[in-house]
Amino acid sequence: MQNPSPFDSVFRDAALDLSALDDNQTLASAFVQVLNEAFHPDELKLYDVHRKGNRYSATQQVAEDFYLVDTQGRGEDKQFLNSLPGASQCLTNGGLVTLPEETGTGTRVFRRVDGKQGPVALIELHGIDTSHGEIDALNGFADLYQNLHGLLATASQDGLTGLLNRRMLQARLHRLVAAGPISDLRRASDLDSYPYLVLVDIDHFKRINDQYGHVFGDEVLLLFTKLLESSFRHGDQLYRYGGEEFAILLEPCSTRHVQAVLERLRTKIESFTFPQVGQVTASIGACRPQYHEPVATTVDHADRALYYAKENGRNQVHIYEDLLASGAVHLPGEADDNIELF
Q: What 3-state class would DSSP assign to 27?
A: helix
CB 284 within 8 Å of CB 318: yes
Q: What 3-state class would DSSP assign to 115?
A: strand
Strand 278-279 to 273-274 pairing: antiparallel
Residue 202 to residue 245: CA distance in whole angstroms = 7
The amino acid sitting at 246 is F
Q: Terminus-to-terminus CA distance in the chain, angstroms? A: 88
**Crossing angle between the packed helical segments 24-39 and 134-156, to the nearest 10 degrees:** 170
Residue 329 to residue 156: CA distance in whole angstroms = 34
Asked whether the CA dihedral 250, 255, 260, 266 is positive or negative, the reply is positive
CB atoms closer than 10 angstroms to residue 125: 25
CB atoms closer than 10 angstroms to residue 267: 12
Read off φ and ψ for residue 33, nearest 5 degrees.
Answer: -65, -40
CB 64 within 8 Å of CB 70: no
Residue 330 to residue 334: CA distance in whole angstroms = 6
The H-or-E segment that residue 15 falls in is helix 8-19
Residues recognised as catalytic: 244
CB 186 within 8 Å of CB 178: no
Where helices occur in 45-133 by DSSP H, the ranges are: 87-93
The amino acid sitting at 37 is E
